[in-house]
Structure 1
Amino acid sequence: MEMRELTVVAGSFVSFQLLFSVASPRLSSTISPGYGRLPPAKLTEWHSRLVSTVHALVVGFFCLYILWFDDAINANPVWGDPRLVKLNVAITCGYLLYDLVLLACNWSTMGDGFFVCHHLAALYAYGYVLTRGVLPYFANFRLISELSTPFVNQRWFFEALKYPRSHRMVVLNGVAMAAVFFLVRIAVMPSYWASVFATFGTADFERLGLGAQVAWITSCIALDILNTIWMYKIARGCYKVLMGRWGRKVKEGAEVASSSDRKDVSNHTD
C-alpha cells in the first residue's frame, strides 16, 4: 500500500472519530429537540449512525461519479487505473476501522455479529484493491450499496425519537429504504455476477493469482448472503408497517361509515 492510501485511511479514521465525538453532538443538539432526552447508550448509537450516514453519502455519490466518468476502470474492470477507486476505498477502510473500534468499545449496547462479519469481509477484499490496485470496477460497484444506508439510519432516528410507526414520515422512509436497498444491493446482483463470470478464464483473471481470486469471490458471496438476510428483514418490517397502516385506515373508514349509517337511520326515524 502506498503512502497516499495509508494517509487517506488514517485521515478517514481520525475524521470520522472527530465527527462522532465533536461534530455530531453539536449538530444533533441544534437540529433535533428530542436528542437531549435520549439515554447515554442511545446517544452513542445516534452519533454512530450520523457518522454512518455522512460516510454513505460521500462514498456513494463518489462511486456513481466513478462509474459514470472513469473510462479506465470501465474499459478494464480487473486492471484499470485504480487511482480514484483506491481513494474511495481508503475512505471506506478508515470508516470500517473506526466503526469496528466503536463496536468493540460499546459491544454490550451496539454489538452486532453481522456488522462485524460485513466489515471484516469488506476490509479483506478492499485490502487487495489498496495494496495491488486490482479489481477497481468491482470494488467501486460494491460501494454503491452504501446509498441505502441513510434510509436505514433514518429509520433508527425515528424510532429513537419515538415516532409512531404509522407516522407518514416513518412509512415513507420505510418504503424508500426497502426500495433503495433492493435496487443497490439485490437487483444489481445478476449484473454484478455476470461481470464477474465474464472475467473467468481470461488472462486478466489468471494474472490476479489465487489469493486475490479467493478474497474477491468469497467476500462477495459473504456480503450477498448478508444483504439477502437484511433485505428479508427490511421487507418483512416494511410489509408489517404498510399492512398496519392500511388496516387502521380500513378500520377508521368502517367506523366513519358506521357512524354515518347510524345518523342516516336516526334522521329517517325522525
Structure 2
Amino acid sequence: MVFLEHLFIPPKGGHSWSHPSTIVATFSLCWASFLVMQWTGLTLPKQKLKRKDQVEWHSRVISSVHALVLCLGSLMCYLELQDKSREALVSGYAVWPDVFARIFLGYLFYDTTNMLVYYKYLGDKSAIIHHIIFACAAAYVLGHSIMAFPFVWLSLCEISTPSLNLRWHLAVTDQKNGSLYVANGVLLTVLFFASRVVSYGAGMWHLWGLRDVWAAPGQDPLNTALVGLFFLGYVLNLYWMQAILNGVLRALSRSKPAKTA
C-alpha cells in the first residue's frame, strides 16, 4: 500500500532513529528485557508470588519504562513543534513525533505478542484488540506523516501508567492497607485526571479547531476516522477516571480507622 511507504522507507533528512529498525529494536529490546527478568527473577519482590503474578510483574515493569520514554517523547515533540504553522501541526514530517511513534509501535507489537505467548496468564481479549487497533492507527499516522502535535498529548497520557502499575505491584504484595498505596492512589488520580481528562480534552478541542487541515478536500477520509478513534479513546478515559476515583475513595475510607486508632 502506498501509505506504508514512509513506514518502511526512512524519510529524507530524517533522524537516524526515524527508521523501520527503530520499531524492530524496540520490539527486540522489550522482549529481551522481559526474558531476562523471567530467567533471573530480577525486579521481583522478596516474597514469593504465583507464576501468573510473576509474569504480569515483569510485563508491568516494562510497561512503566516504556511510559516514561513516551513522556520524554511528549516533551521533545512539544519543543520541536513550537512556532510551527497550523498545517505543520497536522500534516508533514516532524522528527521526534516520528521517532517516538516508532518506539510506541514497537512496544505495541511486543506487548501484543507477549499477551498471546503468555495468554494463560495475561490473556485479555479486549486488550489485544485494543493494541491491534492502535497499532494500525500508529502505522497509518507514520505512513502519512500526520498528527504530529496530537502525539504530544496522546503520549503524555502515559504519565499515569507507572503509578497505575505501582498500585498493582502494591496490591499483589499485600500492601493495599499501607500509606504508600493510599498516597500512590491519590497521585494516580491527579496524574490521570490532568493528562487523560484535562490535557487530552484540550488536545481534542485544539484538533477540532484544525479540522480545516485534516478534513480538507483531497485529504484521506481515514483522517476523520482516526480523529473519531481519538474521541472514543477520550470517552474510555472518562470511564476509567470514574473507576480510579472510586478506587482511591475506597482506599481512603479504609485508611481512616488506622489513623483514629
Into which bin does the TM-score normalised by the smaller protein fall?
Answer: 0.7 to 0.9
Q: CA deviation at 1:247?
A: 4.0
CA root-mean-square deviation = 2.1
User: When the two structures are superposed, what TM-score results if normalisation uses the length of structure 2?
Assistant: 0.85
1:268 is matched with which residue? none
> Structure 1, residues 16-36: CA drift from partner, whole Å, max 9, x if none?
00111115745315xx323xx
The reply on whether 1:178 has 2:189 as its aligned counterpart is yes
Residues 188-238 of structure 1: CA distance to partner in whole angstroms, max 9, x if unpaired?
233112112111234774453102221x22321221222122211111110
Partner Cα separation in structure 1 for residue 130 and residue 187 of structure 2: 23
Question: Does the aligned pair in 2 maintain the 1:53–1:149 contact within 8 Å?
Answer: yes
**Gap change, CA 1:113 and 1:83, over 3 Å in 2:** same
Matches of 2:241 and 2:218, distance apart in 1: 35
Check 1:203–1:89 CA distance in 2 against 1; reply closer, same or farther (3 A cut).
Answer: closer
Cα pair 2:215 2:223 within 8 Å, conserved = no
User: 1:16 is matched with which residue?
Assistant: 30
Code of the aligned partner of 1:153? N
Cα contact 2:77–2:96 (8 A) shared by 1 = yes
Whole-angstrom CA distance in 2 between matches of 1:173 and 1:247: 19
Contact 2:76/2:96, CA 8 A, preserved across alignment = no
* Structure 1 residue 115, shift from structure 2 partner: 2.2
Aligned to 1:217: 227
Q: 1:54 aligns to what?
A: 65
How many percent of aligned residue pairs carry the same amino acid? Answer: 22
Residue 243 of structure 2 corresponds to which residue in structure 1? 233
State which structure, 1 or 2, has the greater radius of gyration over its C-alpha atoms: 1
TM-score by length of 1: 0.83
Q: Does 1:133 align with 2:145?
A: yes
How far is the alpha carbon of 1:180 from its aligned partner? 0.4
> Cα gap change, 1:149/1:115 in structure 2, threshold over 3 Å: closer, same or farther?
same
Displacement of 1:10: 0.8
Q: Cα–Cα, structure 1 residues 239 and 74, in superposed 2: closer, same or farther, change >3 Å?
A: farther
Confirm or deny: 8 A CA contact 1:78 1:137 kept in the other structure.
yes
How far 1:59 moved relative to its partner? 1.2
Q: 1:22 to 1:72 in 2, by over 3 A?
A: farther
Among 88, 99, 102, the alignment partner of 1:90 is: 102
Question: What secondary structure sits across from 2:167 in the alignment?
Answer: helix
Give me the whole-angstrom Cα distance separating, in 2, the residues matched to 1:155 and 1:59.
20
* Aligned partner of residue 81 in structure 1, secondary structure: coil
> Unpaired runs of 5+ in structure 1?
253-270
Amino acid at match of 2:244: I
1:190 maps to what in 2?
A: 201
C-alpha separation between the residues in 1 aligned to 2:99 and 2:77? 11
The question of whether the paired residues in 1 share the 8 Å contact of 2:105 and 2:135 is answered with: yes
Query: Is residue 64–residue 162 contact of structure 2 (8 Å, CA) maintained in 1?
Result: yes
Give yes or no for contact 1:73–1:79 (8 Å, CA) kept in 2.
no
Q: Contact 1:73–1:81 at 8 Å: present in 2 too? A: no
Bigger proportion of residues as helix: 1
Letter in 2 for 1:192: G
Aligned residues, how many?
245
Q: Which amino acid aligns with 2:131?
A: H
